[in-house]
């Protein structure tokens, strides 16, 4: 039987603590009450493109009614340097404004790289600025990908210091309809 130690549990504990820190530091609701944002909650299939408009990845984005954001990316298995495989992202969202042309949404999500051959890991953060067109049930906007400079999970601080900006992706997403 394997004996669990604090050292063995450190990555799991760090994941939970960082997620809790992010959620408590950014808040769940935001400036606009979620009742004005009722059209957003659901799951969206998104296409991400790089700065030049070239296809980068496909993503599932789930916005919950209580302000949580869950993101799964087809590129999670990693790519040639500098990206190791990553975990799913979790975070929060809120409405910034509600205008006739659509709802403006800000969101933050955090993920972790999986350890490389040297056992090094880091934290990634995505800052989303999106617009919802409720009539078309689609989202458009950007996602800025930041990666913590530190490979020491204990000292990386994604809430106050997102790290180095790696890429700004264009996001085009369509809400999955109810069956």
Per-residue model confidence as pLDDT tens digits over 85-135: 778 899 999 998 766 667 899 999 998 887 777 777 888 899 999 999 888
Distance separating alpha carbons of residues 133 and 101, to the nearest angstrom: 7
79 falls in which pLDDT band (50, 70, 90)? low
Which fold, 30-175? Lipocalin (2.40.128)
Structural Rg of the chain based on CA atoms: 17
Output b/e per residue, 136-145; b: 16+ Cβ within 10 A: ebbbbbebeb
Instruction: Specify the pTM.
Output: 0.76
Confirm if 137 and 117 have CB atoms less than 8 A apart.
no
Strands 138-147 and 123-133: antiparallel
Q: pLDDT at residue 33 above 90?
A: no
Report the run of H or E that residue 10 belongs to, with start and end.
Answer: helix 6-26
Span 134-142, average pLDDT: 91
DSSP 158: T
Residue 109: the pLDDT is: 95
């Amino acid at each position: 039987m394997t004996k669990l130690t604090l050292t063995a549990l450190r990555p799991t504990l760090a994941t939970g603590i960082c997620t809790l820190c992010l959620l408590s530091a950014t808040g769940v609701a935001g400036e606009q009450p979620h009742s004005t944002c009722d059209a957003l909650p659901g799951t969206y299939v998104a296409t991400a493109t790089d700065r030049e408009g070239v296809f980068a990845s496909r993503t599932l984005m789930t916005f919950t009614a209580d302000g949580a954001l869950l993101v799964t990316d087809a590129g999670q298995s990693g790519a040639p340097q500098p990206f190791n495989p990553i975990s799913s992202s979790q975070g929060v969202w809120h409405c910034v404004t509600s205008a006739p042309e659509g709802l403006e949404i800000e969101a933050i999500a955090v993920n972790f790289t999986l350890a490389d051959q040297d056992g090094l890991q880091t934290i990634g953060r995505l800052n989303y600025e999106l617009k919802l067109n409720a009539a078309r049930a689609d989202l458009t906007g950007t996602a800025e990908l930041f990666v913590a400079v530190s490979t020491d999970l204990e000292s990386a601080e994604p809430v106050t210091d997102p790290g180095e900006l790696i890429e700004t992706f264009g996001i085009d997403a369509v809400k999955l309809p109810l069956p």
